[in-house]
């Protein structure tokens, strides 16, 4: 920088002001011009480390996550956070702790040592977490809710998502709608919330929920198949005409079961999934109607409040809508069940 100053015949202070556009009204255009030319000539590159030391702002935000690797959704969240960061001229420092407490401690220490301007604590699937000790109070939680409140957080609105799914089926004329849920032992908050949504919509429609239509299995394709098979073995009058599946993988299994029983989708059976998981939802035959998880949007939101663009309410997690994606797996119930 002193090179530039010398070359332009001014002081470093002037160079700094010109190049940062600060107080630019107070510096003569000719000088500004000279400075810029000198900077260009010297190939001047500002040193952000020095600037950060001086300004106490690094324009970096730390993103600590439990596992970037394991879910295809992680990327969407990162992308959202990244995009906002870039728009704001910030960089994101990523740390993957693999859910290890010691690693989390180290990460936090490294990040605070690095003086990041903000911290986002991200989970790769929706859950409630005991936040690590030492997480700054203004850190924002992404795809998780704090066990003991008091922090800005964003999670998908699973309840509304479940409602949307069931409404879709209701609108198509179904009355006997099953919910293929995840087993309780997985202790998924999404499971509870989606089920609540299911129940609420049924209640609103004046339909008495049939406990036989709420089945649980492992939330993977195999589990979905098995659960769907159980449902399809019910006597005809009790058999569901539609299935709302906890996730797309289970929906995939439901397809397999329908196929096995010689049932066509959506002719004989309608199916709705959840997650809008790439490589499944759109690739199934017929393409699956499902509820999308708003990972990109949550990533954006988290970064926006982290950077102070938005105000997060510490009292209660922000609920991000889960849009329903209409494809071709929902139709009217088979004739004998119609009205």
Partner DNA sequence: CTGAAAGCGCTAACAG
Partner DNA sequence: CTGTTAGCGCTTTCAG
Q: 286 and 266 in contact (C-beta within 8 Å)? A: yes
Residues 6+ positions from 167 with CB-CB distance below 8 Å: 201
24 binds, among DNA, a copy of itself, none (CB under 5 to 8 A by kind): none
- Residue 12 found at the interface with DNA (CB under 7 A): yes
- Residue 112 found at the interface with DNA (CB under 7 A): no
Alpha-carbon distance of 171 to 339, in angstroms, equals: 13
- Residue 16 found at the interface with DNA (CB under 7 A): yes
- Residue 74 found at the interface with a copy of itself (CB under 8 A): yes
- Residue 114 found at the interface with a copy of itself (CB under 8 A): yes
109, 171, 205, 264: which one binds a copy of itself (CB under 8 A): 109
- Residue 23 found at the interface with DNA (CB under 7 A): yes
Identity of the residue, 78 or 166, whose beta carbon is nearer to a copy of itself in the bound complex: 78
Instruction: Return the HEC string of 232-287.
Output: HCCCCCCCCCEEEECCHHHHHHHHHHHHHCCCCCCCCCEEEEEECCCCCCCCCCCC
The site map against DNA for 45-84 (x = CB under 7 A) is xxx--xx-xxxx----------------------------
**Residue entry with tokens 């556009």:** 21
Identity of the residue, 14 or 58, whose beta carbon is nearer to DNA in the bound complex: 14
Phi-psi region of 56 (alpha: psi -120 to 50; beta: other; left: phi over 0): left
Residues 6+ positions from 12 with CB-CB distance below 8 Å: 1, 2, 4, 5
Residues 6+ positions from 336 with CB-CB distance below 8 Å: none
Q: 249 and 280 in contact (C-beta within 8 Å)? A: yes
Alpha-carbon distance of 260 to 91, in angstroms, equals: 51
Identity of the residue, 27 or 135, whose beta carbon is nearer to DNA in the bound complex: 27
Identity of the residue, 37 or 100, whose beta carbon is nearer to a copy of itself in the bound complex: 100
- Residue 43 found at the interface with a copy of itself (CB under 8 A): no
Task: For residue 153, say if its preceding peptide bond is cis, omega within 30 degrees of 0.
Answer: no
- Residue 20 found at the interface with DNA (CB under 7 A): yes
- Residue 128 found at the interface with DNA (CB under 7 A): no
- Smallest distance, a copy of itself to C-beta of residue 34, A: 23
Q: Which residues pair with 119 in a beta bridge?
A: 62
- Smallest distance, DNA to C-beta of residue 43, A: 12
Residue 118, classed as helix, strand or coil, is strand
Q: Which residues pair with 325 in a beta bridge?
A: 290
Identity of the residue, 12 or 70, whose beta carbon is nearer to DNA in the bound complex: 12
Identity of the residue, 50 or 316, whose beta carbon is nearer to DNA in the bound complex: 50
Q: Could you tell me the two tokens for 214? A: 């709420």
Identity of the residue, 31 or 48, whose beta carbon is nearer to a copy of itself in the bound complex: 48
Q: Is 28 exposed, middle or buried (0-12, 13-18, 19+ CB in 10 A)?
A: exposed
- Smallest distance, DNA to C-beta of residue 37, A: 14
- Residue 75 found at the interface with a copy of itself (CB under 8 A): yes
The residues that touch a copy of itself, with contacts defined as CB under 8 A, are: 45-50, 52-53, 58, 60, 67-72, 74-76, 78-79, 82-83, 86, 89, 91-96, 103, 106, 109-115, 220-221, 249, 252, 256, 277-280, 283, 285, 296
- Under the rule (CB under 7 A), what is the footprint of DNA? 1-2, 9-14, 16-17, 19-20, 22-23, 25-28, 30-32, 45-47, 50-51, 53-56
């Amino acid at each position: 920088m002193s090179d530039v100053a010398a070359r332009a015949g001014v002081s470093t202070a002037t160079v700094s002001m010109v190049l940062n556009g600060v107080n630019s009204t107070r510096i003569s255009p000719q000088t500004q011009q000279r400075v810029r030319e000198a900077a260009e000539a010297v190939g001047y590159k500002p040193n952000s480390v020095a600037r950060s030391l001086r300004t106490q702002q690094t324009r970096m935000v730390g993103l600590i996550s439990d596992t970037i690797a394991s879910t295809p959704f992680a990327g969407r969240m990162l992308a959202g956070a990244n995009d906002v960061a870039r728009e704001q001229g910030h960089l994101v420092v990523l740390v993957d702790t693999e859910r290890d407490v010691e690693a989390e401690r180290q990460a936090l220490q490294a990040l605070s040592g690095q003086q990041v301007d903000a911290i986002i604590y991200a989970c790769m699937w929706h859950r409630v977490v005991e936040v690590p000790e030492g997480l700054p109070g203004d850190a924002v939680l992404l795809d998780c809710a704090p066990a003991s409140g008091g922090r800005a957080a964003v999670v998908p609105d699973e309840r509304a998502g479940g409602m949307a799914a069931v409404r879709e089926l209701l609108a198509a004329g179904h009355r006997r709608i099953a919910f293929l849920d995840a087993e309780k032992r997985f202790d998924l908050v999404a499971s509870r919330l989606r089920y609540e949504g299911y129940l609420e919509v049924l209640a609103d429609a004046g339909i008495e929920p049939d406990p036989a239509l709420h089945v649980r299995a492992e939330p993977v394709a195999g589990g979905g198949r098995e659960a769907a098979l159980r449902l399809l073995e019910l006597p005809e009058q009790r058999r569901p005409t539609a299935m709302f599946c906890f996730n797309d993988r289970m929906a995939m299994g439901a397809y397999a079961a329908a196929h096995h029983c010689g049932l066509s989708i959506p002719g004989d059976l309608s199916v709705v999934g959840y997650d809008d998981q790439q490589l499944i939802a759109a690739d199934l035959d017929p393409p699956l109607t499902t509820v999308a998880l708003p990972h990109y949007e949550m990533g954006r939101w988290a970064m926006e409040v982290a950077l102070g663009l938005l105000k997060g309410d510490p009292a209660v997690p922000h609920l991000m809508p889960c849009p329903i994606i209409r494809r071709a797996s929902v139709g009217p119930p088979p004739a004998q069940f119609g009205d």
